[in-house]
Amino acid sequence: MIAYPRWKIALVFVVLLLGVLLALPNLFGEESALQLARDRAAVVEADRTAVLQLLGEKGVPPTGSFLDQAGRLTLRFASKQDQLKARDLIAEARPNQFTIALTQASRVPEWMRKLGLEPLKLGLDLRGGVYLVYQVDVQGAVKQQLDRREQDFRASLRNARVPYQDVQVDYPLNRVRVLFRDADSFAKGKAAILADNRSLSLTDVTVDGAPALQLVLSPQEIKEREDYAVQQNITTLRNRLNSPELAVSEPQVARQGVDRIAIQLPGLQNSAEVKKILGKTATLEFRMVDEVNNPLEAAATGRVPLGSKLYYTRDKQPVLLKREVVVTGDQLTDASFQPNTQEGPAVSVSLDSRGAAKMLRNTQENLGHAMAVVFIDRAREKNAAGVEVDRTTEEVINRATIRGVFSNSFQITGINPIEGRELALLLRAGGLAAPLAEVEERAIGPSLGQDNINKGVDAMVFGTLAAFLFMAIYYKVFGLIADAVLFANVILLTALLSLVGAALTLPGIAAVVLTVGMAVDANILIYERIREELRNGVSPRAAISAGFERAFSAIADSNVTALIAGVVLWLFGSGAVRGFAVVLVLGIATSMFTSLMGSRALVQVIYGGKRKVERLSI
C-alpha cells in the first residue's frame, strides 16, 4: 500500500467542503434591487411589511427582501423596469421617509445570508458603478491654518497674562498680526508666543504707531498646506469608504489635478447614502453644563450669560454650556460603536495623552456636575439660489452627570443605533482637512465594454479547458487527477475571494488564468518526476512518493518568487494592479495546497488501497 496519513486526506476533504460552501453563493447571480435607509433610525420589520404591502397592491412585488445589520431594507426585483417603478411608488407614497438607492443584490437564500455567506464582489470594470469627483477647498484650508494661528496666539498671550489690543487675520494677504499697547507688553508677548511656537518666523512691525508682531505664510507654506489638505482628505475618504458601516467594495480614491479627488464606487447605482457620509466634517466638543442660569430664558430673550454659550439638542431644547472647551475632537484617537450596553447603544471613545490629562483633571474637579457632548457637523451644500455655501450644525447629543473620575476612555450614550454607527465612523476615519464640493457625479457601465468583458471570461474558460484537455490526454489517469485538483483550486480561490471581500476585476480574471497555469505547472513537475523514477526502474509505489517529495523544492521556489512579486505589487500598486496582485497571492496559496496536498490525497484514494500496484496510468 502507498502510505499517506489519513488526517491529511481528511484535512483536504474538510477544506474542500468549506470551499464549496463559501463559493456556493456565486452560483445564484444578482438582481436589480432597491436599498432603503432612514436618516437617523433603523428600518424595522413594520416598515418592511408596509412597503411590501404597498408594492403588492401596485402590482410590483419584489422577488425577495431582507433587513441587514445596519438597519437598511433591501428589495430585489425581477427586472430593471420593476426596480425603477417600485422606487417611484415608494418615493410618492412615503415622501422624505427613506433614502432610496438603486443597487444590485444577490439571490443568495436567507439561510446562507444568516451564515454570513456572500458572493465575491466585482470591480468597476466588470459591473459598473458610480463615479464621483470632489473639489477640495484649498483656500479654505489656508484660512483654517490662519485661524488656528490666531487661536494659538490668543491662548499663548492669555496663559502668560500678557495684555494686547487685538489679533487680526488678513485672509487675502495670508497674514496674522498681533497688536500690543506698548513696548513692554510687546516684548513679553513675543516671548510667550515664541515659547509655544518655536518654529515660527515672526516679523516686528508697527501698526498705527503701536508695536505689533506679524506672521505671513510663504508661498511654499501655502502650497504645503494645500497639498496636505488634499492628501489628508484622500486618506479620510478612503477610511470612510473602507469602513464596515458603508461596506463599499474596492473603492478607488485618487487625486485628480491640483485640487480634485476622483472616487470610483463599483456596483453602486445611486450614491445617496455614501455622499451623505463623504462630505461631512464631523467632530465633537466636551463642555461643562451651565447649571446656574436658565437656558429657556436665554433662548427667549437672546441674552446669553457671560462665560456661557447657547446650544440646542436635537429635539430643539435649549442648553447653556460653558464657553471653555474641556476636550476637542482632534484629541480623539479612536471611536467604536457598541450596540448593546447597559445604557443602550453607545460610542466608545479613546483620547490621546493631552486630552486624557484634561479629562482627568476636569472630572476630578467637577464630580456631581453635568458635562455635555456637542456634535459639530460641517458640510458644503447649495442654498436656495444655487450657490455653494458652508453649513455648520452644532447640536448637543448627550448630557450626563459625572459620577466618577475617568481620563483616556469612556462612552457616549443616549444615541440611537444609526447615528451611533455614523458618529463612530466619522470620528474614527478622521475629519476632513478642508471642505469638499461635489463637481461631478455619473453612473457608469463597465469601463472596458461588455464585449471585452466577455472576451476576458471566454479567455479564462477556454484557457482552463485547454489545460484540462491537455492534462487528460497526456497524463491519462494522473491527468484526470490534475484536472480535479485544478477545478478544486478554482473553487478554493473563489471561496477565498468571497471570504476576504476582495473585488474581482478584469486584471483579476487574468490572475485567475495565470494561477491555473501555475497550478498545471506544479502538477507537471510532480508527474514528470514520477515518470523519470519509473524509467529508472523504481516501483510505482516508490515513484509516487519520490515524485511528490523531490518536486517539492522546485515548486516551492517558483511559487515563493511569484509570491514575493505579488506582495510587492499589492503593497505599492493601486487600482487594477492591486486587484491583480490580490488574486495572484491568494491563487498561489490555493495552488500550493491543491497541487501538493490535494493531488497527493487523490492519488492515495485511487492507488493507496491496492496491495500491489503493477503500473501507473501516467
Q: What is the 3-state secondary structure (H, E, C) of 122-184?
A: ECHHHHCEEEEEEEECHHHHHHHHHHHHHHHHHHHHHHCCCCCCEEEEECCCCEEEEECCCHH
Pairing state of beta strands 121-122 and 503-504? parallel
Burial class (CB in 10 A: 0-12, 13-18, 19+), 256: middle
pTM above 0.75, yes or no: no
- Strand pairing category for 129-136 and 73-77: unpaired
* Low-confidence spans in the chain with pLDDT less than 50: 1
Residue 557 CB coordination number (10 Å): 10
What pLDDT does 17 receive? 92
CA dihedral 569, 573, 575, 578 (to 10 degrees): 20
Question: What CATH superfamily is the domain 29-107?
Answer: ACT domain (3.30.70.260)
Residues 325, 288 contacting (CB under 8 angstroms): no
Strand partners, 389: 381
Q: Residue 573, Cα to own-chain centre: how many angstroms? A: 18
Nearest partner of 376 among 336, 428, 423, 414, judged by Cα? 423
CB 373 within 8 A of CB 412: yes
pLDDT score, position 289 = 92
Distance CA 263, CA 234 (A): 9
Please state, in angstroms and rounded to a whole number, the distance separating the CA atoms of residues 349 and 329: 10
pLDDT of residue 14: 92
Cell numbers 517539492 label which residue? 552
pLDDT of residue 18: 92
**479: nearest Cα among 487, 467, 471:** 471
Which H helix or E strand runs over 424? helix 417-429
Q: How far apart are CA 270 and CA 166, in angstroms?
A: 50
Q: How do 346-351 and 409-412 pair as beta strands?
A: antiparallel
pLDDT of 1 reads 45
What is 6-24+449-607's CATH superfamily? Multidrug efflux transporter AcrB transmembrane domain (1.20.1640.10)
* Helices assigned H by DSSP within 4-160: 6-23, 45-57, 80-93, 110-114, 124-127, 138-159
Residue 40 contacts residue 418 (beta carbons within 8 Å): yes
Separation between Cα atoms, residue 257 and residue 42, nearest integer Å:
39
Give the contacts of 106 (CB within 8 A, at least 6 positions apart). Answer: 25, 28, 29, 30, 118, 119
CATH topology of domain 281-431: Gyrase A; domain 2 (3.30.1360)
How far apart, in whole angstroms, are the C-alpha atoms of residue 80 and residue 100? Answer: 15
* Class of residue 287 by CB neighbours under 10 A (exposed 0-12, middle 13-18, buried 19+): buried
Residue 433 phi/psi, 5° resolution? Answer: -75, -20
